[in-house]
Amino acid sequence: MIAIVIIVGILGGGGYLGYRWINDAVTADDYTGQGSGEVTIVIEEGASAGDVANELEKEDVVASARAFVQAVDAAGKGGSLQPGHYQMRKQMSAAAAVTLLDPDKRLRDSLTIPEGYRATRVYDTLAKATGIPAKEFADAAKGDIGLPSYAKGKAEGFLFPATYELPPDITPAQILTKMTDRYNETVEKLDLNAEAKRLGFTPMQIITVASIVQAESGTPDDMGKVARVIYNRMARSPAMKLQMDSTTMYGLNKYGIAATFEETESKSPYNTYRVEGLPPGPIANPGDHAIEAALKPAKGDWLFFVTTDPKNGITEFTASEAEFVRLRDKFHATQN
């Protein structure tokens, strides 16, 4: 395939209008039929119909730019050519070429990044979808991808989980920027800065809480309660350690829902069995429900929770340490 980049102009503007006089004055050369072979045409943002016409003639997609402009005019699509990648053929009739430049026929793949993926898993997922090595995504994340200032240059927590379109020639930096743009749009709608200040936390701390909520919750309905447990523990005097398996496993670069005694003895700053308060940053990329839960936790006095039925995502909450021990034993019984 050959990628052709169209020069920028103004869609449906002077480039197109300047060609219209040809319709009544000249009989344009034109091919017949649907053509053959393959060529990928890239219409950049702002390209005019005239720009497209000239490039199609140059690449022998159409016999003449005049024929294409006449066909666009006849179809009433002079102002509707849209940016994107289009699969075309050599030596097509101008009318057939116009048909293939329908925005619905743009070449594009979509990829869904689920909530709770760590940055490394996001890079691996993107690598499989694009064929670009995961390391290139990790390297791109260290550059200018639109991270908020409080992220301090670290992408973990800010690669928003959603479905993204991936045009054929998109770069790792462009993909990651799409994700941080979506994050910034989401937290702006949630008024993160003001709400974090109301709660007495920084935006980074709220996203850290949200990432733990995302990792520890069996269902979206549990998120507000998990957030409340985190805040209740930190509010006690003296504060209770969070003792979250998810943060501890993150610090060890492992996955799992139950850390061993040896793992809870690790010296990682993410080991909340040893360190007080929140870990130094997010442990995953939370979705909007987890961020909302961190900003608006449920009301309750819970200090403990145990996912007693991981298969079905059932989590039980309690304020009693004795009840917590019973729930913990209930969980261990399901693992034997």
pLDDT bracket for residue 11 (50, 70, 90): very low
Residue 144 confidence (pLDDT) above 50: yes
Which helix (H) or strand (E) covers residue 290, if one does?
helix 288-295
Mean pLDDT is lowest, of 47-61, 124-138, 145-159, for 47-61
Residue 137 Rama label (left phi>0; alpha psi -120 to 50; beta): alpha
pLDDT digits (tens, 9 = 90+) for 194-221: 999 999 999 999 999 999 999 999 899 9
Q: What mean pLDDT value characterizes the chain?
A: 89
For residue 174, which amino acid is it? Q
Give the pLDDT score at 23.
Answer: 47
Give the pLDDT score at 7.
Answer: 37
| Cα 77 from chain centroid (whole Å) | 33
- Domain ranges across the chain: 3-105, 109-189, 192-335
pLDDT bracket for residue 19 (50, 70, 90): very low
Question: Is the pTM here over 0.85, yes or no?
Answer: no
Give the pLDDT score at 25.
Answer: 52
Give the pLDDT score at 5.
Answer: 46
Give the pLDDT score at 42.
Answer: 83
For residue 70, which amino acid is it? Q
Give the pLDDT score at 336.
Answer: 65
Where is pLDDT greater, at 228 or 50? 228
Residue 138 confidence (pLDDT) above 70: yes
Number of H helices, E strands in the chain: 14, 7
Residue 86: strand pairing partners: 41, 106
Mean pLDDT is lowest, of 54-68, 115-129, 192-206, for 54-68
Specify whether the CB–CB gap between 119 and 159 falls below 8 A: yes
Q: How far apart are CA 243 and CA 225, in angstroms?
A: 16
Give the pLDDT score at 216.
Answer: 94
Q: Is the peptide bond before 238 cis (omega within 30 degrees of 0)?
A: yes
Specify whether the CB–CB gap between 97 and 59 falls below 8 A: no
Mean pLDDT of 242-270: 94
Mean pLDDT is lowest, of 36-45, 52-61, 154-163, 224-233, for 36-45
Specify whether the CB–CB gap between 212 and 283 falls below 8 A: yes
pLDDT bracket for residue 14 (50, 70, 90): very low
Q: What is the CATH number of domain 3-105?
A: 3.30.1490.480
Residue 335 confidence (pLDDT) above 90: no
Mean pLDDT of 20-27: 52
Give the pLDDT score at 194.
Answer: 97
Mean pLDDT is lowest, of 13-27, 120-134, 189-203, for 13-27
Residue 10 confidence (pLDDT) above 80: no
pLDDT bracket for residue 26 (50, 70, 90): low
| Cα 308 from chain centroid (whole Å) | 31
Where is pLDDT greater, at 76 or 186? 186
* DSSP assigned state of 36: E
